[in-house]
Amino acid sequence: MEAERLAKFLSRSGIASRRRCEEIISSGRVTVNDIIVLEPGYRVLPGKDIVALDRRVLNQALDQPKNPIYIALYKPVRYLSDLLSHSERLVARSLIPIDSYLFPVGRLDYHSEGLMLFTNDGMLANRVMHPRYGMEKEYLVKFKGVLSDEALRAMVKGVIIEGLRYKVTKVRFLRHSLANSWYSVVLTEGRNRMIRRIGEKIDHPVLKLKRIRIGPIKLGDLTAGQYRFLTPREIKSLVGSVEGLA
C-alpha cells in the first residue's frame, strides 16, 4: 500500500470533498497515530497508520472488521454522499440508524439518486471504488433530446474535458418521449459528475440520473430513502467480484 496525502485519505473514506477535508485537518480534528496533524499534505500509509476524526478511528486503516456490515441504500435526490455536511444539506448516511463507522461506497452527486453501498469493510470499499479494479456501475439516465449515433460513439470513444478523457463502458437505448430519451449507461470509472459532464459536452444535458447497480449488487425494490442489509449470497458475490478484479 502506497502512502497518500491525508486529505485524499479522508476524502476517499467518504468524509467530505477533498477541499472540505483540508479544512477539517487544518482545524485540528484529525489525528494520525494519536498525534494531531494540521497539514493536509501529510502522508499516511492506509494499511498501517491509524487515522481518527474527532477521536473516532476510520477503520480503513485497520484490518477486516470482526463484525462486517454491508448495506444497500437508495439515496434520494438532494442528499449528500459525504459523511459530513458543512451546510444544512442532508447526508445519505443519516438514513441508516446504525451506530457504527460506515464507508459510503459509490458516491452520487447531490441531484442524482439510486444505489449506494455502506460498509465497515475498508478493504472491500477501496476495491469497489478504485478505478484500477474496474468495477461496473450501471445507471438509468434521462438525456435531453435523442442521442445520435455520432453522440453514442463519442461517449464510448471518449470526449476531452479539461484535458482529461471521459468515456463510458457501455450505453444502450431504452426508450424516448417527444423531447427526451432514456439510456442504460455503464461505467468502470468514478470521476465526479462524469455522466453529467459527458452529456453537457455532447450537447445532451442529463435531466435525471439513477444508479441501479454496483457490480453484482442491484437496487432492486428499494424506494428512495430505504436501506437493507445485503444477503449472504450478495456479499459472497461482491467479495468474489473484487477478488476477481484484483
Buried b (16+ CB within 10 A) or exposed e, 189-201: eeeebbbbbbbeb
User: What CA–CA distance (Å, rounded) separates 167 from 189?
Assistant: 9
The one-character DSSP state at 132 is G
Active-site positions? Answer: 109
Please, where in the chain does CATH 3.10.290.10 lie? 4-61
Whole-structure pTM value: 0.84
User: Which one is the CATH code of 136-214: 3.50.30.30, 3.30.2350.10, 3.40.140.10, 3.40.50.300?
Assistant: 3.30.2350.10
Given 3.30.43.10, 2.60.40.1730, 3.10.290.10, 3.40.390.30, which CATH number is that of 4-61?
3.10.290.10
CA 13 vs CA 52, 101, 197, 210, 221: distances in Å: 11, 10, 24, 23, 28
Neighbours of 144 (CB within 10 A): 14
The list of the chain residues with pLDDT below 50 reads 61-62
- Delimit the CATH 3.30.70.580 region(s) of the chain: 70-132+216-245
User: What was the pLDDT predicted at 63?
Assistant: 54
Question: Rounded to an integer, what distance in angstroms lies between the CA atom of residue 229 and that of residue 72?
Answer: 6
Q: What pLDDT is recorded for position 61?
A: 45
Cite the residue boundaries of each domain of the chain with CATH code 3.30.2350.10: 136-214
pLDDT digits (tens, 9 = 90+) for 142-197: 999 999 999 999 999 999 999 999 999 999 999 998 899 999 999 998 788 999 99
Return the CATH number of 70-132+216-245, one of 2.30.30.100, 3.30.70.60, 3.30.70.580, 3.90.330.10.
Answer: 3.30.70.580
Distance of CA 65 to the CA centre of its chain: 21
pLDDT for res 85: 77
Cell numbers standing for residue 124: 472491500
Give the pLDDT confidence score for residue 59 in this predicted structure: 56
